[in-house]
Structure 1
């Protein structure tokens, strides 16, 4: 069966901020097209779906960090270059059953039905990063802060984050607590634990679920408030990681066996970027406007669901497009890496994909499907 050509149902947003003048210096968008590979007959029901491994030279580890158990604290998943042979355990993709409930609400499914369906369909999925593997010291790695889209959470962009870590980046995927995630949580103190050391033994979980718009409610005020909180959470994550880089001791509320001291002096504080998808892209732009330590940002294309959901199910719940997700994510990641090398001044070989930034390639349509306002040419003095 000959494959057909489809237009990709997403676009890149490349946002370059010139921090020296403190304003947005360039906006570039490219629409893409790819060859879709259709599943045939009954093969689609037996096809094994898996989140793709990173294509870089580094092994990838993964862990979670929650500091200050309250809602004001910081919570993110860290993807990083890891030492080989220090862990054989792959990372569980969706770590808690409460996330299935949140996803069900966001997808407008009855919660009991949605939880059962999602647990059956993706409950055993792991992502190709070794859980709590030892961090690989000895290099200066650039840092990426990642902000998820509406209805997402810290774990479901692992295909992007793992690829970046395999190429030599440290990636902190923030889980936002502004009610834009389908689900997240923090810990409340019991009255008997207020004076005790910060651990989960005497704390009670408090779950936060996605807040839908009320009937007749205007969207802008809510989204504006959310993006401000999200920006603060991205900056908190950056501050926390740079504290770890400087050797400051941090207490992880989560009972995980990971040696954070290995990250000391391992982050290149002159090469820091923020990446966001969808509403996370808006978060990235707001973060860039308020924090000059960030050099640039990228709007990525796909959450992990595109690799794990079959065509029929994906279309029903609008979690999958018509195109081969492996082709799409490969183009997206290569263009992102080329962009990051160009604007972070990395000494890698990512410039081999510079043409994608300019919309040149056999699977790329130059230009944009977004109407942009005409800009006035700058006057020459």
Structure 2
């Protein structure tokens, strides 16, 4: 067992959490995701490497995404991220005593399926099945597909070229990402209906065990940064997504014509330091679309507080490198997840209990404020 100081926070809910991976056929048109779920522990084993670095190729990809030295930074990445462990049971049996609501998760730019384990584990511990999609649109720092001959095809992060405008590339990617999230939802529909699904990965988990155990009437989507924009678009496109939670959303990829027409309930949970006027202005357009929409800011937090990064690079070094703000990362994550559960409780009609955090959704409480401290307009015009 890992030293506790190298462990990601345990889930706060009553359920023990299991974890497995799936990659379906179809190459990049298939689905690749990590699945977190309430489990039983009989005959299961802890799987320590399930946190930030699934394989060594992800280390090189993350270094390339950060545009850092391939000589020094792989050692630092492995020291910071590779040592972290997660309190989950790998390939554990699903606790099939009830039908669980479903949450699809979309990672941010340069992320991958395991970089938000803390959020996903906590949601699963509270009774959700969570599908953390690994996007293969060249926005992950590294990912791969497996062809018909069993050969791996690695997909590198796509940097902007010199002189290239950002919106056309990111808008194309967000469309792909939204479709990947919708395909993930449809895959869970197959699980629920008992349809056989081939997994190209060598994992010993029977996805047929999900049959009858997913509540497809209670489905939501959540994403961080680029994943926040992805969640908005996917919720707009797919009727079965009843609401979306946008963690520090990056609005650049979304076409301005989309903003006024998104009618699904949205919850923006922002960090204090990430946003700028144009980004907030786009959020306010979405916020005005219906009364159920909400926006709060977590005070004392930075952009990476909603990922696993502040637990891997902590203390003063974490603040220096921008993986966290001055607020304690565990407290920031607790507020983030409690507010999310309260919003999901309302819009998915969950069992009583999560409404105890309703005030957080309204921006009331310590370390939280309603709206954003960033003004969306300067001198009467956007900037």
Q: 1:65 matched to which residue of 2?
A: 22
C-alpha contact (below 8 Å) 1:227/1:283 kept by paired residues: yes
2:348 paired residue among 344, 368, 373 = 344
2:58 is matched with 99
**In 2 relative to 1, CA 49–253 (structure 1 residues): closer, same or farther, beyond 3 Å?**
same
Q: In the alignment, does 2:170 pair up with 1:166? A: no
2:141 pairs with 1:182: yes
Q: CA deviation at 1:138?
A: 2.2
Choose the corresponding residue for 1:313, options 310, 313, 317: 317
Do the aligned residues in 2 keep the contact of 1:136 with 1:262 (CA within 8 Å)? Answer: no
Deviation at 1:262, TM superposition (A): 1.1
Q: 1:178 to 1:272 in 2, by over 3 A?
A: same
Alpha-carbon distance between aligned partners in 2 of 1:372 and 1:346, rounded to the nearest angstrom: 34
Match of 2:72 in 1: 113
Counterpart check, 1:297 vs 2:262:
no
Pick aligned residue for 1:233 from 175, 180, 188: 180
Mapped contact 2:46–2:87 kept (Cα < 8 A) = no
- Hey, what's the Cα distance between the residues in 2 that align with 1:107 and 1:50? 24
2:33 aligned residue (50, 69, 76): 76
Q: CA deviation at 1:209?
A: 1.5
Q: Does 1:205 align with 2:147?
A: no
- Max Rg structure: 1
Post-superposition offset of 1:119: 1.6
Q: Give 1:217's aligned residue.
A: 164
Is 2:41–2:89's contact at 8 Å kept on the other side of the alignment?
Answer: no
The Cα shift of 1:254 comes to 0.3
SS of the equivalent of 1:149 reads: coil
Give the structure 2 partner of residue 366 of structure 1: 370
Count of residues paired in the alignment:
316
Work out the CA distance in 1 between the residues paired with 2:187 and 2:20.
15
Measure the CA separation in 2 of the matches of 1:310 and 1:47.
14
Unaligned runs of 5+ in 2: 248-304, 378-383
CA distance in 1, matches of 2:360, 2:73: 39
Q: Check if 1:244 corresponds to 2:203.
A: no
Give, in whole Å, the separation in 2 of the partners of 1:245 and 1:85. Answer: 23
Q: Deviations over 1:27-63 (max 9, x none)?
A: xxxxxxxxxxxxxxxxxxx993431000100110000
Deviation string for 1:98-147 (max 9, x for gaps)? 00011111222112322222123332322111111111112010000000
Structure 1 residue corresponding to 2:335, chosen from 331, 336, 340: 331
RMSD across aligned positions (CA): 1.7
Q: Which secondary structure state, in structure 2, belongs to the residue aligned with residue 339 of structure 1?
A: helix
Q: Deviations over 1:249-283 (max 9, x none)?
A: 01100011001111001111110000010010100
d(CA) in 2 for partners of 1:132 and 1:112? 35
Distance 1:319 1:291 in 2: 33
How far off its partner does 1:316 sit? 4.5
Given that 2:104 and 2:181 are in contact with CA atoms closer than 8 Å, whether structure 1 keeps it comes out as yes
Give the Cα separation in 2 of the matches to 1:208 and 1:322: 35
**How far has the Cα of 1:327 moved from its partner?**
0.6
The ranges of structure 1 where at least 4 consecutive aligned residues each deviate by more than 6 angstroms after the TM superposition are none
- Does structure 1 retain, via aligned residues, the 8 Å contact 2:6–2:83? no
Corresponding residue for 2:263? none
> What's the CA shift for 1:337?
0.2
Q: Which residue of 2 aligns with 1:126?
A: 85
**Residues in 2 aligned to 1:287 and 1:47: alpha-carbon distance in whole angstroms:** 37
Say whether the 8 Å CA contact 1:59–1:81 is kept in structure 2: yes
Q: How far does residue 170 in structure 1 lie from its aligned partner after superposition?
A: 0.3
